[in-house]
Each structure stands twice: as C-alpha cells, then as structure tokens.
Structure 1
Amino acid sequence: MSKEELTFKACDRMVREFEAVMAKPVREPSAVYYTGVDLGTACVVLAVLDEHLRPVAGTFRYADVVRDGMVVDYIGAIRIVREMKEELEEKLGTGLFYAAAAIPPGTDALDSGAIKNVVQGAGFEITALPDEPTAANAVLKIRNGAVVDIGGGTTGISVLKDGKVVYVADEPTGGTHFSLVISGAYKMSFADAECYKRDKKNHKELLPVLKPVIEKVSSIISCHIEGREVDGIYLVGGTCCLTGIEGIIEKKTGIPTYKPGNPMFVTPLGIAMNCRAAW
C-alpha cells in the first residue's frame, strides 16, 4: 500500500460515508448533532455528524455569496444557509442547533465576524471558527507537512509539525481564476466555464490550459513553505478535484503532493468535527 493510500484511508472512508448520507440521511437518534458550515466562494456545504462523529446528513449548493474568502452578499448567505439547515432538519426529523464554520487563514481580523454572523443569522449557535486547512486536518490527521486548501477564491496553507499548526497563510488565487482562464480560452461565459470545469470528462483537455494558473498556485505554496520542514503537501478543496493538479504542483514545488479521492468534502467534514472539539 502506497503512502498516499495509507494517508487517506480513513479520510476517504469518511467522505464516502458523507456522500452516501447526502443521498440518504441517517435518521437514528443522536444525543447531539454537530454541523459544519463551509461558506465557499463557489459552493456552500453543510455537513452533519452525530454524537460519535459519524456523517448522518449533508447538502451543498453552488452560490455566489463569497468572493476571495470574503462575504459579499450577507443577506443572501444567511438565506442560503438557513434554507439548507431547514432542508437537513426536515430530512433528519430533528433540529440542528450547533455549528462550526471556517475562515481562510489569517483573515480572522477581516471577515471572521461576518462569517460568524451569517451562521448565527441562519439559526445556529456557533461553537468554533478555525481556519480552513486546519479544519481539514481534523479529517486528514497529518502530523508533518502542509495542508493546502484550494477553494474557489483563495489558496489557504497550514504547515504542521508534530500535529501542531506552526504557520498559516492565504492568497487570493483559486478556482475562480481557473474559470476565468477557461472562459477566455474557450470564449464562453464565466458560468459556463464553471460548469465545464466541474465535468470530469473535460479535465484531461483542460489541464494544459490551466497549467499556468496551477503553477501560480504552486509558486504561492513554495513561497510560504520556504525554509520550513515540509516533506509532503496535502491538497483539499473543490478546485483540487481537477484531475492531475497534484502532479503539476509536485513538479513545480519539488515536494511529494497528495490528495484524497474527493477533496471537495474534506474541509466541511473537518469543520463539523471542530464543532465537537469546541463543545
């Protein structure tokens, strides 16, 4: 078994369970439910865990209420999270009261209040607000290396040593920039470029088109981990669903780079786990 398979075995199992309960929620009673609210640039995800930290329900919705990690449509964000909360409460047959959210690394002074207010405005009591890659590591459980969350608007980096976060950073380059390149190259609207990018059958064709942007992301990672002991880069976030992205990042940084089977749902599950951690 390869290092990658060993690293992501538990993570991939949890993500598969989450994908299953999104289609068919688990209605068995739980003493408490922990919800993770991931307010992404391109997508809002809610993940619900039971008292034993097992996935029981979830949903996601593509939205345009956050840009480059900042809430730009406050009322719209509250409405979407509230609707998703009510949808899951109906499916589970119970109320959801406690939630954690997450922010891009180093932006707590800028936007943590807005994200916290969105979650509270949707009817949750917020219990934790970690940064996104650190939240993801609750699922990954990386002890040494860099967890890199490439979302729609930003690339967040958490460097870990002996399981402790020793450095965090965030830069405004992500999936939105990928879509802008596709839009220009294929002369299609931004919305159509987003859909084209999400279709896995287009990834092989898109990889060389997107290589310059991926290399820019790689340069951001290299800049922030320079001089630090990083023996592996671990990718999460919806943008990392692009087939082959890890190979370009590894070649550019010179550091072994890995990603789980479905990197899109690792962070929201980690956020939900942080909800219990702060309970």
Structure 2
Amino acid sequence: MIRDKTCDQYVAEFEKAEQFPIKGDSPYYLTGIDLGTAYIVLVVLDHQKNIVAGAHRRADVIRDGMIVDYIGAITIVRELKEKLEQQLQTELLFASAAIPPGMATLDGGVVKNVVQGAGFELTALLDEPTAANTIVGLINGAIVDIGGGTTGISILKDGQVVKSVDEATGGTHFTLVVSGACQLPFDEADDYKRNSRNHQELLGLLKPVVQKISSIIKKSIEGFDIDLIYLVGGTSCLTGIEKIIEQELGIRTIKPRNPMFVTPIGIAMNCSQEVID
C-alpha cells in the first residue's frame, strides 16, 4: 500500500497543487481519473508519486454509478487533461480510474473507453473504496464512499478487502429532499446543499437520508467485527454527517479533510506505466 503521509496531508497537498501546479522535470507523470456523479476529478503525480497538479469540474454524466453521457464524459476528461498539460508543459499519457464496487462487469469497459477516448493509456481500474484506502491506510474496519448517486462500502480485515457492496443512495437523494422542502429547482437545491454555510440548517432536514445510509452500512457490515468506519466521497462533506452515522451505528466514525478528494488521490496512487489490456 502506497502511504507515507496521513490522509489529510495528501488532501492538503492536492488542494495546494490544484491552485499552484508544480512544474518540474519528471520523466513521466501519472494521472488518476475519478468519474463521479457530481464531479470529475483529475489528480496528477510525478514519477516519485508526489502530487503536482489537479483539476475538478462539475459534471452530470454519471447516474447511480453508470455513465449515461459517454461523449460528455470524454469531453470533460479531455479538456481537463489539456488544461493540466498546459500547466505542466508536458503530455499526460498514463491514467488509472475506478468504478463503484461490483460494477466491473457492467461499466468497467465503458470507463476504460472514456479514459482512452480522452487520450490516456489505462494502467489500472479498481473499485472506489479500495482506491480510497490507498491513502487512508485502514487495516481493520469499513471504508464508506458516499458519492452523488451511490454509497460504496468496503470491509477490510488485516488490510485486505473481504467484502464490497454498492447501494443507490447518495447526494442526489439529499438534493431531492432539499428541492422539495425548500421549493427550489433541482440545480439550485444542489448548489444550496453544497454551501457549507447552509449545512447546520439542512442537517435536520437531511437526517432521514443519513439514517437510510446508516441502515445500508449496518446491513452491509452484519457478521463482521467493525469498530471503525471511515467516510469518503463528496456527499460526506455534509457537516455533521459523521456524528449521525456514529450515533446510529454505535461505531466510531471518522471523516477526513475534504473527503471529496480522497478517492481521486487514491486512484492516482495506483497508476503506473504498465498499460492493462
């Protein structure tokens, strides 16, 4: 497992590199691509796996873990790739990507085609919670990746994934609740939900959805001795979500700094120069 810093340190480095790319003379660069329901994120590493650049953009090309706008996905990834290439004054060739747990047979080929269609060579394709754990470094417990459309759960024992599941509940369901309660169009409700200044006001409103996610986690971990849950994914950014989940499950629950970027960084850390078939 590639991990020589804390998860929060990796995220802080990404946030800084996204604002101030580090142009150097690395012989090659490695890129992680996270095709999320709400955002597409690219993370670039140098040959020593230091984070040197990154970019993210709002997107509506994925629903419930499935790519529904193939051309749109390629276009966004290609545009972000070109932006990063201009910043680093180099060509980005190698990329890794991830999919929700259990989706390999359904969408793995499409993800590969998006990565290649944007001009990359695909070197790794893994599930999202496993990618996140590359920098989380959890030995025993559960990684819970709460995205826009789905919640992915990976249970780890002695550092190895022993079970992975994915359920269709996530940030989109939060937005639908906000839209109905506040009488806002979906897009406006989504923006309102993302603003952390509104989180305290919305937490009570969204608690039933968080409780639903908690019930998904509870069902998924039945039969396993879990004493730690680690939250990642953009929807985990909701202030206080970790406290509700901890109260519902009675299990210590941790949320890192800006959990939205944990999985993309982990994806990048799994990139190499070895192209997969």
- TM normalised by structure 2 equals 0.96
Which amino acid counterpart does residue 274 of structure 1 have in structure 2? N
In structure 1, the partner of 2:91 is 95
Please, which runs of 5 or more residues in structure 2 have no aligned partner?
A: none
Which amino acid counterpart does residue 194 of structure 2 have in structure 1? R
**What is the CA-CA distance between 1:78 and the residue it aligns to?**
0.4
2:72 to 71, 76, 83: 76
Cα distance in 1, alignment partners of residues 20 and 71 from structure 2: 30
Q: Tell me if 1:29 matches 2:25.
A: yes
Which amino acid counterpart does residue 42 of structure 2 have in structure 1? L
Greater share of helix residues, 1 or 2? 1
In structure 2, the partner of 1:119 is 115
In structure 2, the partner of 1:246 is 242
Per-residue CA deviations over 1:2-54 (Å, capped at 9, x if unaligned) read xxxxxx97111111111011011000111221100000001000001111211
**What is the CA-CA distance between 1:276 and the residue it aligns to?**
3.0
In structure 2, the partner of 1:208 is 204
Which amino acid counterpart does residue 93 of structure 2 have in structure 1? F
2:265 to 227, 244, 269: 269
Which amino acid counterpart does residue 236 of structure 1 have in structure 2? V
Identity %: 63
Cα distance in 2, alignment partners of residues 70 and 210 from structure 1: 25
Please, which runs of 5 or more residues in structure 1 have no aligned partner?
A: 1-7
Which amino acid counterpart does residue 105 of structure 2 have in structure 1? A
Cα distance in 2, alignment partners of residues 51 and 234 from structure 1: 29
1:142 aligned counterpart, secondary structure: coil
Cα distance in 1, alignment partners of residues 247 and 158 from structure 2: 26
Asked whether the equivalents of residues 94 and 273 of structure 2 are also in contact (C-alpha less than 8 Å), the reply is no
Q: Tell me if 1:134 matches 2:140.
A: no
In structure 2, the partner of 1:177 is 173
Per-residue CA deviations over 1:198-218 (Å, capped at 9, x if unaligned) read 111101001000000000000
Which amino acid counterpart does residue 238 of structure 1 have in structure 2? G
1:55 to 51, 61, 64: 51
Cα distance in 1, alignment partners of residues 241 and 89 from structure 2: 40
Per-residue CA deviations over 1:148-195 (Å, capped at 9, x if unaligned) read 000000000010011111100000100010000000010001101111
CA RMSD of the aligned region, Å? 1.4
In structure 2, the partner of 1:195 is 191
Which amino acid counterpart does residue 141 of structure 2 have in structure 1? G
- TM normalised by structure 1 equals 0.96
Which amino acid counterpart does residue 135 of structure 1 have in structure 2? A
Per-residue CA deviations over 1:56-98 (Å, capped at 9, x if unaligned) read 0000000100001000000110011000000000000000000
1:252 aligned counterpart, secondary structure: helix
